[in-house]
Structure 1
Amino acid sequence: MDNGSFALMQQLEQLYIDHHSWLSSLLRRKLSNSSDAADLAHDVYLNLIRKGGVPSAENCRRHLTQIAKGMVIDLYRRRRLEAIHLEALREQPEPLVPSEEVRALAVEALSHVDAALRNQPSKARQALLMHKLSGMGHRDIAAELKVSVSSVEKYIASGLRACTPYAVKRRPFR
């Protein structure tokens, strides 16, 4: 470990010592669930480790709060997707209901697609969702996003490429 990495780890350790209990308490109030709060609090610090940076002392709580809010939104989004998927499965006639394994794979694929889309630039994510979920045409999306039709085409292609590795492959009926 070089001196820069060692210094970063020391700064992260001090940030953790100084603010972890405050952050955990904040998340417990937001989530009303100490288990989820503890998981997300640790994920905030993992996020900082991945990014390789520590906020300045005067901005650390604001920065930690911002990361935590994003993770809470992601948690609720993931749970909403799971609930929608499970509800759709419950509404299917019995012979068409997939096995638990297929359900778990579908939920996992949805989580990966959600993460892949979150890693896309905002306009690319919006363009793909407008096209696929709302059925909007390229010109309408371009007008909405205030970009060219060519940009919309690139955004949608980029979003599709990001999601393709996680697409659930359907087996043919036999």
Structure 2
Amino acid sequence: MSETLPANNDQHLRVIEDLYAGHHGWLYNTLKKKLGNAMDAADLAQDTFTRILASQVTAIDQPRAYLSCVAKGILINWYQRKALERAYLEALAHLPAQEVPSPELRFLVLETLHEIDAMLDTLPAPVKRAFLLSQIGGLKYDGIAQQLNVSLITVKRYMKQAFVQCLMLVE
């Protein structure tokens, strides 16, 4: 793929239109075979082209390789999102009926979980692990320090970094 800044928006749109016209069917069929579901394949194909449309690409030497690469990232995010949703719904299944949240609240919680998951993916691995050990594992900072084999000061620094990221979600 050749990627350059567009001389103008028209050039960018022509490249995307040609890409869509020439390869949408191929991408859709590829995703449909992978997922076994036409609706999800259509959504992910559309998401792929939407992401490319938002990019500044003006020339693509190998369109199918480029599409495959972009679609793979979207597909990985989609699988992670589905796994998170399954885990949440499984946790809800263990609640007494009177404690199960309304569909609206479930939707809001899932959206928040997706945002937190995306935020956590931006953190370095040890920071993410420290945060999860604290917030989900319930460990105190000294226990996290032992688990990660780092100093207490390092754990405090990790947690500060994670909490700053969380605050950025709220803003």
TM-score normalised per structure 2 = 0.74
Aligned to 1:32: 36
CA pair 46-138 structure 1, distance change in 2 beyond 3 A: farther
Count of residue correspondences:
154
Q: Which moved more, 1:92-101 or 1:105-114?
A: 92-101
Q: Map 1:71-82; keep pairs closer than 5 Å.
A: 71-82=74-85
Identical-pair percentage: 30
Work out the CA distance in 2 between the residues paired with 1:54 and 1:4. 9
Letter in 1 for 2:129: M
Matched, 1:70 2:78: no
User: Structure 2 CA distance, aligned partners of 1:138 and 1:63?
Assistant: 44
Considering Cα pairs closer than 8 Å and 6+ residues apart, tell me whether 1 or 2 has the greater RCO. 2
Are positions 1:163 and 2:166 aligned together? yes
Given that residues 131 and 162 in structure 2 are in contact (C-alpha distance below 8 angstroms), is that contact kept between their aligned partners in structure 1?
no
Aligned residue identity for 1:56: I
Match of 1:56 in 2: 60
| 1:107 alignment partner in structure 2 | 110
In structure 2, relative to structure 1, the CA distance for the partners of 1:30 and 1:125 (3 Å cut) is: farther
Deviation at 1:42, TM superposition (A): 1.0
CA pair 7-23 structure 1, distance change in 2 beyond 3 A: same
Give 3-state SS (helix, strand or coil) of 2:11's partner.
helix
- Could you say if the C-alpha distance between residues 116 and 9 of structure 1 is closer, same or farther in structure 2, counting changes exceeding 3 Å? farther
CA distance in 2 between partners of 1:141 and 1:48 (Å): 42
The one-letter amino acid paired with 1:132 is: F
Q: What is the CA distance between 1:44 and its match in structure 2? A: 0.6
Whether the 8 Å contact between 2:11 and 2:58 is mirrored in structure 1 is: no
Cα distance in 2 between the residues matched to 1:79 and 1:17? 30
Could you tell me how far apart the structure 1 residues matched to 2:17 and 2:24 are? 10
**Judging changes above 3 Å, is the alpha-carbon distance between structure 1 residues 97 and 165 closer, same or farther for their aligned structure 2 residues?**
farther
Residue identity in the other structure for 2:26: W
- What does residue range 3-14 of structure 1 map to in structure 2 within 5 Å? 4-14=8-18
Q: Which amino acid aligns with 1:100?
A: P
CA root-mean-square deviation: 3.0
Counterpart for residue 126 of structure 1: 125
Residue deviations 1:102-131 (CA, integer Å, cap 9, x gap): 21110111122233344x2xxx24234311
- Structure 1 unmatched runs, 5+: 143-148, 168-174
